[in-house]
Chains A and B, each alone.
Chain A
Amino acid sequence: MTLPSLLQQSIAFLEPYEFSPTVLLVCLGAAVLYQRGWRRAGGGRGQALMFWIGLVAMYAVLQTQFEYYAQHSFFMHRLQHLVLHHVAPFLIAVSAPAAILGAGLPTIVHRHVVTPMRRNRLLRFLYAAIQEPLVSGAIFVGLIYFWLIPSVHFYAMLNVPLYNTMNWGVAIEGLLFWWMIFNMRAPGNTDMRHYGYRLMVLFLVMLPQIALGAYIALSDHDLFGIYAACGRILPITPLMDQAIGGLLTWVPAAMMSVVGGLVLVYRWNTQSRGAETPLPPTLRCAR
Protein backbone atom coordinates (compact mmCIF):
# COMPACT_ATOMS: atom_id res chain seq x y z
CA MET A 1 0.00 0.00 0.00
CA THR A 2 1.41 3.36 -0.98
CA LEU A 3 1.57 6.29 1.39
CA PRO A 4 -0.95 8.50 -0.47
CA SER A 5 -3.55 5.71 -0.60
CA LEU A 6 -3.03 4.99 3.09
CA LEU A 7 -3.50 8.67 3.82
CA GLN A 8 -6.60 8.76 1.67
CA GLN A 9 -8.06 5.79 3.51
CA SER A 10 -7.35 7.31 6.90
CA ILE A 11 -9.04 10.54 5.92
CA ALA A 12 -12.02 8.61 4.56
CA PHE A 13 -12.25 6.81 7.89
CA LEU A 14 -12.39 10.11 9.76
CA GLU A 15 -15.38 11.32 7.79
CA PRO A 16 -18.63 10.96 9.73
CA TYR A 17 -20.84 8.03 8.67
CA GLU A 18 -23.91 9.97 9.67
CA PHE A 19 -23.10 13.62 10.18
CA SER A 20 -24.69 15.10 13.30
CA PRO A 21 -24.46 18.87 13.72
CA THR A 22 -25.49 18.47 17.39
CA VAL A 23 -22.54 16.20 18.25
CA LEU A 24 -20.16 18.48 16.37
CA LEU A 25 -21.48 21.63 18.10
CA VAL A 26 -21.49 20.13 21.59
CA CYS A 27 -17.94 18.77 21.21
CA LEU A 28 -16.64 21.98 19.64
CA GLY A 29 -18.36 24.05 22.32
CA ALA A 30 -16.80 21.98 25.10
CA ALA A 31 -13.40 22.18 23.41
CA VAL A 32 -13.50 25.98 23.05
CA LEU A 33 -14.75 26.49 26.62
CA TYR A 34 -12.10 24.20 28.02
CA GLN A 35 -9.24 25.77 26.10
CA ARG A 36 -10.35 29.30 27.12
CA GLY A 37 -10.83 28.30 30.75
CA TRP A 38 -7.58 26.35 30.89
CA ARG A 39 -5.62 29.40 29.75
CA ARG A 40 -7.42 31.69 32.19
CA ALA A 41 -7.48 29.45 35.24
CA GLY A 42 -4.17 27.75 34.49
CA GLY A 43 -5.05 24.07 34.85
CA GLY A 44 -2.54 21.21 34.98
CA ARG A 45 -1.22 19.45 31.90
CA GLY A 46 -2.11 15.93 33.04
CA GLN A 47 -5.60 17.09 33.82
CA ALA A 48 -5.98 18.65 30.38
CA LEU A 49 -4.63 15.53 28.67
CA MET A 50 -7.28 13.35 30.29
CA PHE A 51 -10.05 15.77 29.38
CA TRP A 52 -8.93 15.95 25.74
CA ILE A 53 -8.58 12.18 25.36
CA GLY A 54 -12.08 11.75 26.78
CA LEU A 55 -13.64 14.40 24.55
CA VAL A 56 -11.89 13.25 21.36
CA ALA A 57 -12.79 9.60 22.09
CA MET A 58 -16.47 10.50 22.43
CA TYR A 59 -16.42 12.41 19.16
CA ALA A 60 -14.46 9.66 17.39
CA VAL A 61 -16.85 6.81 18.22
CA LEU A 62 -19.85 8.89 17.10
CA GLN A 63 -18.62 10.88 14.14
CA THR A 64 -16.28 8.65 12.13
CA GLN A 65 -16.73 5.43 10.14
CA PHE A 66 -16.52 3.68 13.53
CA GLU A 67 -20.24 4.40 13.72
CA TYR A 68 -20.85 2.26 10.61
CA TYR A 69 -19.23 -0.73 12.31
CA ALA A 70 -21.09 0.00 15.56
CA GLN A 71 -24.41 -0.18 13.69
CA HIS A 72 -23.60 -3.49 12.07
CA SER A 73 -21.76 -5.54 14.63
CA PHE A 74 -22.78 -6.26 18.20
CA PHE A 75 -19.30 -6.21 19.65
CA MET A 76 -18.44 -2.92 17.95
CA HIS A 77 -21.67 -1.53 19.38
CA ARG A 78 -20.59 -2.68 22.86
CA LEU A 79 -17.17 -1.12 22.28
CA GLN A 80 -18.86 2.16 21.32
CA HIS A 81 -20.88 2.09 24.53
CA LEU A 82 -17.82 1.15 26.57
CA VAL A 83 -16.24 4.40 25.35
CA LEU A 84 -19.42 6.49 25.64
CA HIS A 85 -20.57 5.24 29.03
CA HIS A 86 -17.38 4.21 30.79
CA VAL A 87 -13.98 5.26 29.46
CA ALA A 88 -14.55 8.75 28.03
CA PRO A 89 -16.84 10.10 30.80
CA PHE A 90 -14.47 8.55 33.35
CA LEU A 91 -11.52 10.46 31.90
CA ILE A 92 -13.49 13.69 31.63
CA ALA A 93 -14.85 13.46 35.18
CA VAL A 94 -11.54 12.41 36.75
CA SER A 95 -9.88 15.45 35.16
CA ALA A 96 -12.13 17.67 37.36
CA PRO A 97 -13.07 20.02 34.51
CA ALA A 98 -15.81 22.02 36.28
CA ALA A 99 -13.66 24.92 37.46
CA ILE A 100 -11.88 25.17 34.09
CA LEU A 101 -15.09 25.00 32.04
CA GLY A 102 -16.59 27.58 34.41
CA ALA A 103 -13.62 29.89 33.88
CA GLY A 104 -14.10 29.50 30.13
CA LEU A 105 -17.67 30.78 30.24
CA PRO A 106 -18.19 34.47 29.51
CA THR A 107 -19.31 36.51 32.57
CA ILE A 108 -22.64 37.28 30.95
CA VAL A 109 -23.50 33.59 30.75
CA HIS A 110 -22.48 33.15 34.38
CA ARG A 111 -24.73 35.97 35.47
CA HIS A 112 -27.80 35.18 33.37
CA VAL A 113 -27.68 31.41 33.02
CA VAL A 114 -25.45 29.64 35.53
CA THR A 115 -26.30 31.65 38.66
CA PRO A 116 -30.11 31.50 38.18
CA MET A 117 -29.83 27.77 37.45
CA ARG A 118 -27.86 27.24 40.64
CA ARG A 119 -30.47 29.13 42.63
CA ASN A 120 -33.40 27.27 41.07
CA ARG A 121 -34.73 25.00 43.80
CA LEU A 122 -36.28 22.45 41.46
CA LEU A 123 -33.05 22.03 39.51
CA ARG A 124 -31.07 21.77 42.74
CA PHE A 125 -33.43 19.13 44.01
CA LEU A 126 -33.29 17.12 40.78
CA TYR A 127 -29.51 17.37 40.61
CA ALA A 128 -29.14 16.29 44.22
CA ALA A 129 -31.50 13.37 43.59
CA ILE A 130 -29.69 11.97 40.56
CA GLN A 131 -26.31 12.58 42.18
CA GLU A 132 -27.25 10.54 45.23
CA PRO A 133 -24.72 7.69 44.87
CA LEU A 134 -27.15 4.78 45.12
CA VAL A 135 -29.66 6.41 42.74
CA SER A 136 -26.91 7.30 40.30
CA GLY A 137 -25.51 3.76 40.43
CA ALA A 138 -28.97 2.28 39.85
CA ILE A 139 -29.54 4.49 36.78
CA PHE A 140 -26.06 3.62 35.50
CA VAL A 141 -26.71 -0.13 35.58
CA GLY A 142 -30.40 0.25 34.67
CA LEU A 143 -29.55 1.96 31.37
CA ILE A 144 -27.14 -0.80 30.36
CA TYR A 145 -29.80 -3.42 31.06
CA PHE A 146 -32.59 -1.44 29.42
CA TRP A 147 -30.90 -0.99 26.03
CA LEU A 148 -29.84 -4.64 26.00
CA ILE A 149 -33.38 -6.01 26.36
CA PRO A 150 -33.52 -7.82 22.98
CA SER A 151 -36.83 -6.25 21.83
CA VAL A 152 -35.72 -2.75 22.90
CA HIS A 153 -32.33 -3.27 21.25
CA PHE A 154 -34.07 -4.37 18.05
CA TYR A 155 -36.00 -1.12 17.66
CA ALA A 156 -33.12 1.03 18.88
CA MET A 157 -30.94 -0.28 16.06
CA LEU A 158 -33.64 0.38 13.42
CA ASN A 159 -35.11 3.72 14.43
CA VAL A 160 -32.79 6.69 14.05
CA PRO A 161 -34.30 8.97 16.75
CA LEU A 162 -34.38 6.09 19.23
CA TYR A 163 -30.81 5.15 18.34
CA ASN A 164 -29.62 8.71 18.92
CA THR A 165 -31.52 8.87 22.21
CA MET A 166 -29.72 5.71 23.32
CA ASN A 167 -26.27 7.06 22.49
CA TRP A 168 -26.87 10.53 23.94
CA GLY A 169 -28.47 8.94 26.98
CA VAL A 170 -25.55 6.69 27.84
CA ALA A 171 -23.01 9.49 27.24
CA ILE A 172 -24.80 12.01 29.47
CA GLU A 173 -25.59 9.41 32.09
CA GLY A 174 -21.96 8.24 32.05
CA LEU A 175 -20.80 11.80 32.70
CA LEU A 176 -23.26 12.19 35.59
CA PHE A 177 -22.26 8.89 37.18
CA TRP A 178 -18.49 9.36 37.01
CA TRP A 179 -18.95 12.98 38.04
CA MET A 180 -20.73 11.74 41.17
CA ILE A 181 -17.86 9.33 41.82
CA PHE A 182 -15.04 11.85 41.47
CA ASN A 183 -16.73 15.10 42.50
CA MET A 184 -15.42 16.11 45.89
CA ARG A 185 -18.54 17.58 47.38
CA ALA A 186 -22.11 16.40 47.63
CA PRO A 187 -24.50 18.69 45.69
CA GLY A 188 -25.68 21.68 47.71
CA ASN A 189 -23.59 20.51 50.60
CA THR A 190 -20.28 21.72 51.92
CA ASP A 191 -19.44 18.36 53.50
CA MET A 192 -17.47 15.79 51.65
CA ARG A 193 -19.47 12.79 50.56
CA HIS A 194 -17.66 9.92 52.14
CA TYR A 195 -15.15 8.03 49.98
CA GLY A 196 -16.30 4.74 51.48
CA TYR A 197 -19.85 5.30 50.26
CA ARG A 198 -18.70 5.92 46.71
CA LEU A 199 -16.38 2.93 46.81
CA MET A 200 -19.30 0.78 47.84
CA VAL A 201 -21.42 2.06 44.92
CA LEU A 202 -18.55 1.35 42.50
CA PHE A 203 -18.45 -2.21 43.82
CA LEU A 204 -22.23 -2.60 43.63
CA VAL A 205 -22.48 -1.49 39.99
CA MET A 206 -19.75 -3.95 39.04
CA LEU A 207 -21.71 -7.08 40.00
CA PRO A 208 -24.77 -6.70 37.71
CA GLN A 209 -22.49 -5.75 34.81
CA ILE A 210 -20.47 -8.92 35.31
CA ALA A 211 -23.69 -10.97 35.48
CA LEU A 212 -25.12 -9.43 32.29
CA GLY A 213 -21.82 -9.61 30.39
CA ALA A 214 -21.34 -13.24 31.34
CA TYR A 215 -24.91 -14.11 30.42
CA ILE A 216 -24.49 -12.60 26.94
CA ALA A 217 -20.98 -13.97 26.38
CA LEU A 218 -21.89 -17.51 27.39
CA SER A 219 -25.31 -17.61 25.72
CA ASP A 220 -25.56 -20.46 23.20
CA HIS A 221 -28.06 -18.76 20.88
CA ASP A 222 -28.20 -15.43 19.06
CA LEU A 223 -29.93 -12.99 21.44
CA PHE A 224 -29.82 -9.98 19.14
CA GLY A 225 -31.23 -11.05 15.78
CA ILE A 226 -31.18 -7.53 14.43
CA TYR A 227 -27.52 -7.85 13.37
CA ALA A 228 -28.27 -10.91 11.22
CA ALA A 229 -31.32 -9.16 9.80
CA CYS A 230 -29.40 -6.03 8.85
CA GLY A 231 -26.11 -7.60 7.81
CA ARG A 232 -22.88 -8.10 9.75
CA ILE A 233 -20.03 -6.39 7.99
CA LEU A 234 -17.17 -8.17 9.70
CA PRO A 235 -16.53 -11.77 8.69
CA ILE A 236 -17.46 -13.21 12.06
CA THR A 237 -20.08 -15.71 13.21
CA PRO A 238 -23.10 -14.40 15.15
CA LEU A 239 -22.13 -16.27 18.31
CA MET A 240 -18.53 -15.06 18.17
CA ASP A 241 -19.75 -11.49 17.69
CA GLN A 242 -22.06 -11.91 20.67
CA ALA A 243 -19.38 -13.54 22.84
CA ILE A 244 -16.91 -10.68 22.27
CA GLY A 245 -19.67 -8.15 22.91
CA GLY A 246 -20.57 -9.91 26.14
CA LEU A 247 -16.92 -10.02 27.21
CA LEU A 248 -16.62 -6.27 26.60
CA THR A 249 -19.65 -5.72 28.87
CA TRP A 250 -18.21 -8.11 31.41
CA VAL A 251 -14.50 -7.43 31.82
CA PRO A 252 -13.39 -3.91 30.79
CA ALA A 253 -16.68 -2.31 31.86
CA ALA A 254 -16.41 -3.86 35.31
CA MET A 255 -12.69 -3.07 35.42
CA MET A 256 -13.52 0.62 35.20
CA SER A 257 -15.04 0.27 38.69
CA VAL A 258 -11.72 -1.11 39.94
CA VAL A 259 -9.74 1.72 38.32
CA GLY A 260 -12.22 4.26 39.72
CA GLY A 261 -11.83 2.66 43.15
CA LEU A 262 -8.04 2.94 42.96
CA VAL A 263 -8.30 6.64 42.12
CA LEU A 264 -10.62 7.19 45.07
CA VAL A 265 -8.38 5.26 47.48
CA TYR A 266 -5.36 7.26 46.29
CA ARG A 267 -7.21 10.55 46.77
CA TRP A 268 -8.55 9.47 50.14
CA ASN A 269 -5.05 8.59 51.21
CA THR A 270 -3.46 11.87 50.09
CA GLN A 271 -6.29 13.83 51.60
CA SER A 272 -6.09 12.19 54.99
CA ARG A 273 -2.32 12.65 54.99
CA GLY A 274 -2.84 16.32 54.11
CA ALA A 275 -5.22 16.65 57.04
CA GLU A 276 -2.62 15.30 59.46
CA THR A 277 0.05 17.84 58.53
CA PRO A 278 -1.23 21.35 59.35
CA LEU A 279 -1.22 23.76 56.43
CA PRO A 280 1.27 26.61 56.47
CA PRO A 281 -0.40 29.84 57.68
CA THR A 282 -0.34 31.59 54.30
CA LEU A 283 -2.18 28.79 52.58
CA ARG A 284 -4.71 28.66 55.38
CA CYS A 285 -5.56 32.30 54.72
CA ALA A 286 -5.89 31.68 51.03
CA ARG A 287 -8.49 29.01 51.70
Chain B
Amino acid sequence: MSRLKFLIPCLLPLLTLGCSGEASNSWNGHDITGVMPDLEFELTNQDGDRVTAEDYRGKIKLMFFGYTSCQHVCPVALSKLAEATRALGEQADQVEILFVAVDPKRDKPVLDEYVSHFKPELVGLTGTQEELKEVAKRYRVAFSYEKPRKDGFYIVNHSGAVFAFGPEGKSRLLIDDQAKASSITADLRRLLEQSKG
Protein backbone atom coordinates (compact mmCIF):
# COMPACT_ATOMS: atom_id res chain seq x y z
CA MET B 1 0.00 0.00 0.00
CA SER B 2 2.77 2.42 0.85
CA ARG B 3 4.27 1.73 -2.54
CA LEU B 4 0.95 2.53 -4.17
CA LYS B 5 0.80 5.87 -2.36
CA PHE B 6 4.17 6.69 -3.76
CA LEU B 7 3.27 5.58 -7.25
CA ILE B 8 0.05 7.58 -7.65
CA PRO B 9 1.64 11.05 -7.54
CA CYS B 10 4.28 9.81 -9.93
CA LEU B 11 1.75 8.51 -12.42
CA LEU B 12 -0.68 11.44 -12.25
CA PRO B 13 1.35 13.74 -14.49
CA LEU B 14 1.45 10.96 -17.08
CA LEU B 15 -2.32 10.78 -17.02
CA THR B 16 -2.69 14.50 -17.69
CA LEU B 17 -0.08 14.21 -20.40
CA GLY B 18 -2.24 11.60 -22.06
CA CYS B 19 -5.25 13.92 -21.88
CA SER B 20 -3.46 16.92 -23.33
CA GLY B 21 -2.11 14.73 -26.11
CA GLU B 22 -5.64 13.73 -26.97
CA ALA B 23 -6.81 17.31 -27.02
CA SER B 24 -4.24 18.33 -29.62
CA ASN B 25 -5.22 15.34 -31.74
CA SER B 26 -8.86 16.20 -32.00
CA TRP B 27 -8.36 17.97 -35.33
CA ASN B 28 -9.79 16.01 -38.20
CA GLY B 29 -6.99 17.15 -40.49
CA HIS B 30 -3.26 16.80 -39.79
CA ASP B 31 -1.92 19.51 -37.50
CA ILE B 32 0.95 21.19 -39.37
CA THR B 33 1.32 24.25 -37.12
CA GLY B 34 4.95 25.34 -37.39
CA VAL B 35 5.75 22.45 -39.73
CA MET B 36 5.34 24.37 -42.96
CA PRO B 37 6.25 27.97 -43.85
CA ASP B 38 3.74 30.84 -43.54
CA LEU B 39 1.50 31.63 -46.50
CA GLU B 40 3.40 33.63 -49.09
CA PHE B 41 2.81 34.07 -52.80
CA GLU B 42 2.61 36.59 -55.58
CA LEU B 43 0.10 35.54 -58.22
CA THR B 44 -2.64 36.89 -60.48
CA ASN B 45 -6.30 36.53 -59.45
CA GLN B 46 -9.29 35.76 -61.68
CA ASP B 47 -9.77 39.47 -62.46
CA GLY B 48 -6.20 39.78 -63.67
CA ASP B 49 -5.01 41.71 -60.59
CA ARG B 50 -1.70 40.95 -58.91
CA VAL B 51 -2.30 39.67 -55.38
CA THR B 52 -0.19 38.50 -52.44
CA ALA B 53 -0.94 36.61 -49.23
CA GLU B 54 -1.24 39.98 -47.46
CA ASP B 55 -4.48 40.68 -49.36
CA TYR B 56 -6.21 37.85 -47.48
CA ARG B 57 -4.95 38.75 -44.04
CA GLY B 58 -7.43 38.31 -41.20
CA LYS B 59 -9.21 35.37 -42.82
CA ILE B 60 -8.76 31.62 -42.60
CA LYS B 61 -7.35 30.45 -45.89
CA LEU B 62 -7.88 27.06 -47.54
CA MET B 63 -5.41 26.55 -50.36
CA PHE B 64 -5.89 23.89 -53.02
CA PHE B 65 -3.82 23.23 -56.16
CA GLY B 66 -5.68 22.07 -59.28
CA TYR B 67 -6.68 23.07 -62.82
CA THR B 68 -9.91 24.17 -64.49
CA SER B 69 -10.04 21.37 -67.10
CA CYS B 70 -9.83 18.79 -64.31
CA GLN B 71 -12.92 16.61 -64.70
CA HIS B 72 -13.28 14.74 -61.43
CA VAL B 73 -10.89 15.47 -58.58
CA CYS B 74 -10.91 19.28 -58.58
CA PRO B 75 -14.65 19.98 -58.89
CA VAL B 76 -15.37 17.45 -56.14
CA ALA B 77 -12.67 18.80 -53.83
CA LEU B 78 -13.62 22.44 -54.43
CA SER B 79 -17.36 21.88 -53.96
CA LYS B 80 -16.57 20.05 -50.75
CA LEU B 81 -14.57 23.04 -49.50
CA ALA B 82 -17.38 25.40 -50.52
CA GLU B 83 -19.95 23.18 -48.77
CA ALA B 84 -17.83 23.02 -45.61
CA THR B 85 -17.53 26.83 -45.65
CA ARG B 86 -21.27 27.42 -46.30
CA ALA B 87 -22.07 25.27 -43.27
CA LEU B 88 -20.38 27.88 -41.09
CA GLY B 89 -23.39 30.17 -41.67
CA GLU B 90 -22.63 33.78 -40.73
CA GLN B 91 -18.97 33.00 -40.21
CA ALA B 92 -18.55 31.81 -43.79
CA ASP B 93 -17.21 35.20 -44.88
CA GLN B 94 -14.23 34.73 -42.58
CA VAL B 95 -12.95 31.90 -44.75
CA GLU B 96 -11.34 32.30 -48.16
CA ILE B 97 -10.84 29.38 -50.53
CA LEU B 98 -7.73 29.90 -52.64
CA PHE B 99 -7.74 27.81 -55.80
CA VAL B 100 -4.23 27.80 -57.27
CA ALA B 101 -4.72 26.84 -60.93
CA VAL B 102 -1.51 25.28 -62.20
CA ASP B 103 -2.32 24.98 -65.91
CA PRO B 104 -2.13 28.65 -66.95
CA LYS B 105 -2.47 27.94 -70.68
CA ARG B 106 -5.99 26.60 -70.29
CA ASP B 107 -6.87 28.19 -66.93
CA LYS B 108 -6.33 31.89 -67.60
CA PRO B 109 -9.16 32.46 -70.10
CA VAL B 110 -11.81 30.65 -68.04
CA LEU B 111 -10.71 31.17 -64.44
CA ASP B 112 -13.13 34.06 -63.81
CA GLU B 113 -16.14 32.05 -64.92
CA TYR B 114 -14.93 28.86 -63.24
CA VAL B 115 -14.64 30.28 -59.74
CA SER B 116 -18.08 31.97 -59.95
CA HIS B 117 -19.72 28.51 -60.16
CA PHE B 118 -18.98 27.90 -56.52
CA LYS B 119 -20.75 29.33 -53.51
CA PRO B 120 -19.08 31.09 -51.80
CA GLU B 121 -17.06 32.20 -54.79
CA LEU B 122 -13.45 31.01 -54.77
CA VAL B 123 -10.36 33.09 -55.25
CA GLY B 124 -8.78 31.82 -58.47
CA LEU B 125 -5.02 32.26 -58.58
CA THR B 126 -2.71 31.72 -61.50
CA GLY B 127 0.62 32.96 -62.76
CA THR B 128 3.63 32.13 -64.87
CA GLN B 129 5.19 28.67 -64.66
CA GLU B 130 7.96 30.10 -62.46
CA GLU B 131 5.54 31.77 -60.07
CA LEU B 132 3.40 28.64 -59.76
CA LYS B 133 6.42 26.39 -59.29
CA GLU B 134 7.71 28.65 -56.55
CA VAL B 135 4.46 28.39 -54.58
CA ALA B 136 4.31 24.63 -55.15
CA LYS B 137 7.90 24.17 -53.99
CA ARG B 138 7.25 26.23 -50.87
CA TYR B 139 4.49 23.84 -49.85
CA ARG B 140 6.36 20.78 -51.13
CA VAL B 141 3.69 19.91 -53.63
CA ALA B 142 4.23 18.98 -57.25
CA PHE B 143 2.33 19.25 -60.49
CA SER B 144 3.22 17.89 -63.91
CA TYR B 145 1.62 17.66 -67.34
CA GLU B 146 0.99 14.36 -69.07
CA LYS B 147 1.33 13.87 -72.85
CA PRO B 148 -1.64 15.33 -74.80
CA ARG B 149 -4.19 12.86 -76.22
CA LYS B 150 -5.17 12.94 -79.90
CA ASP B 151 -7.82 15.59 -79.27
CA GLY B 152 -5.25 17.79 -77.54
CA PHE B 153 -6.58 17.18 -74.03
CA TYR B 154 -3.94 16.50 -71.43
CA ILE B 155 -4.09 15.47 -67.78
CA VAL B 156 -2.30 17.49 -65.11
CA ASN B 157 -0.99 15.50 -62.14
CA HIS B 158 -1.40 17.57 -59.01
CA SER B 159 -1.61 17.35 -55.25
CA GLY B 160 -4.81 16.31 -53.48
CA ALA B 161 -4.25 18.08 -50.19
CA VAL B 162 -5.79 21.28 -48.87
CA PHE B 163 -3.60 23.51 -46.74
CA ALA B 164 -5.31 25.60 -44.09
CA PHE B 165 -3.71 28.83 -42.89
CA GLY B 166 -4.61 31.00 -39.91
CA PRO B 167 -5.62 34.68 -40.15
CA GLU B 168 -1.97 35.77 -39.85
CA GLY B 169 -0.91 33.33 -42.55
CA LYS B 170 0.50 30.66 -40.20
CA SER B 171 0.26 27.10 -41.52
CA ARG B 172 -2.29 25.16 -39.45
CA LEU B 173 -3.74 22.04 -41.08
CA LEU B 174 -3.26 19.65 -43.94
CA ILE B 175 -6.60 18.20 -44.99
CA ASP B 176 -6.36 15.14 -47.24
CA ASP B 177 -8.76 14.29 -50.03
CA GLN B 178 -10.56 11.65 -47.92
CA ALA B 179 -11.88 14.26 -45.48
CA LYS B 180 -15.66 14.77 -45.27
CA ALA B 181 -17.22 18.23 -45.58
CA SER B 182 -18.62 18.00 -42.04
CA SER B 183 -15.22 17.28 -40.54
CA ILE B 184 -13.70 20.20 -42.48
CA THR B 185 -16.45 22.45 -41.08
CA ALA B 186 -15.61 21.26 -37.55
CA ASP B 187 -11.95 22.07 -38.09
CA LEU B 188 -12.83 25.49 -39.53
CA ARG B 189 -15.01 26.25 -36.50
CA ARG B 190 -12.12 25.42 -34.23
CA LEU B 191 -9.69 27.52 -36.22
CA LEU B 192 -12.11 30.46 -36.06
CA GLU B 193 -12.58 30.03 -32.31
CA GLN B 194 -8.84 29.97 -31.76
CA SER B 195 -8.27 33.04 -33.90
CA LYS B 196 -10.76 34.99 -31.78
CA GLY B 197 -9.00 34.10 -28.54
Q: Is B161 touching A233 in the complex (CB atoms < 8 A)?
A: no
B32 within 8 Å of A (CB atoms): yes
Contact with A along B125-159 (1 / 0, CB 8 A): 00000000000110111111010000000000111
A95 within 8 Å of B (CB atoms): no
Size class of the A contact interface (CB-based, 8 Å): 10 to 19
CA distance in complex: A230, B157 (Å): 10
Which residues of chain B are near A71, meaning CB under 8 Å? Answer: 140, 142
Q: Is A158 touching B160 in the complex (CB atoms < 8 A)?
A: no
Given A158-B36, A159-B36; A228-B144 close (CB under 8 Å): no
B54 within 8 Å of A (CB atoms): no
B174 within 8 Å of A (CB atoms): yes
Q: Is A158 touching B35 in the complex (CB atoms < 8 A)?
A: yes
A142 within 8 Å of B (CB atoms): no
CA distance in complex: A191, B104 (Å): 67
Q: How far is the CB of B43 from chain A (nearest CB, A)?
A: 18
Q: Is A154 touching B141 in the complex (CB atoms < 8 A)?
A: no
Q: Which residue of B lies closest to A228 (CB)?
A: B160
Q: Is B140 touching A157 in the complex (CB atoms < 8 A)?
A: yes
B65 within 8 Å of A (CB atoms): yes
B106 within 8 Å of A (CB atoms): no
Contact with B along A4-45 (1 / 0, CB 8 A): 000000000000001000000000000000000000000000
CA distance in complex: A155, B140 (Å): 11
Q: Which of B32, B142, B176 contacts A72 (CB 8 A)?
A: B142
Which residues of chain B are near A233, meaning CB under 8 Å? Answer: 142-144, 157
Given A158-B32, A159-B35; A229-B142 close (CB under 8 Å): no
Q: Is A158 touching B177 in the complex (CB atoms < 8 A)?
A: no
CA distance in complex: A154, B30 (Å): 10
Given A154-B30, A158-B36, A235-B157; A230-B141 close (CB under 8 Å): yes
Q: Is B174 touching A231 in the complex (CB atoms < 8 A)?
A: no
Q: Is A231 touching B159 in the complex (CB atoms < 8 A)?
A: yes
Which residues of chain A are near B141, meaning CB under 8 Å? Answer: 230-231
Which residues of chain A are near B137, meaning CB under 8 Å? Answer: 18
A106 within 8 Å of B (CB atoms): no
Q: Which of A154, A155, A231 contacts B142 (CB 8 A)?
A: A231
CA distance in complex: A155, B177 (Å): 17
Q: Is B177 touching A228 in the complex (CB atoms < 8 A)?
A: yes
Task: Give the residues from 157 to 190 in chain A that come closer than 8 angstroms, CB to CB, to chain B.
Answer: 157-159
Which residues of chain A are near B142, meaning CB under 8 Å? Answer: 68, 71-72, 230-233
Task: Give the residues from 216 to 235 in chain A that come closer than 8 angstroms, CB to CB, to chain B.
Answer: 225, 228-233, 235
Q: Is B159 touching A229 in the complex (CB atoms < 8 A)?
A: yes
Which residues of chain B are near A231, meaning CB under 8 Å? Answer: 65, 136, 141-144, 157-160
CA distance in complex: A28, B140 (Å): 28
Q: How far is the CB of A212 from chain B (nearest CB, A)?
A: 24
Residues in A lying within 8 Å of B, measured CB to CB: 18, 68, 71-72, 154-155, 157-159, 225, 228-233, 235
- A-B pairs with beta carbons under 8 Å apart, 29 shown: A18-B137, A68-B142, A71-B140, A72-B142, A154-B30, A158-B36, A158-B140, A158-B174, A159-B35, A159-B36, A228-B160, A228-B176, A228-B177, A229-B159, A229-B161, A229-B174, A229-B177, A230-B140, A230-B159, A231-B65, A231-B136, A231-B141, A231-B144, A231-B157, A232-B142, A232-B157, A233-B142, A233-B157, A235-B146
Residues in B lying within 8 Å of A, measured CB to CB: 30, 32, 35-36, 65, 136-137, 139-144, 146, 157-161, 174, 176-177
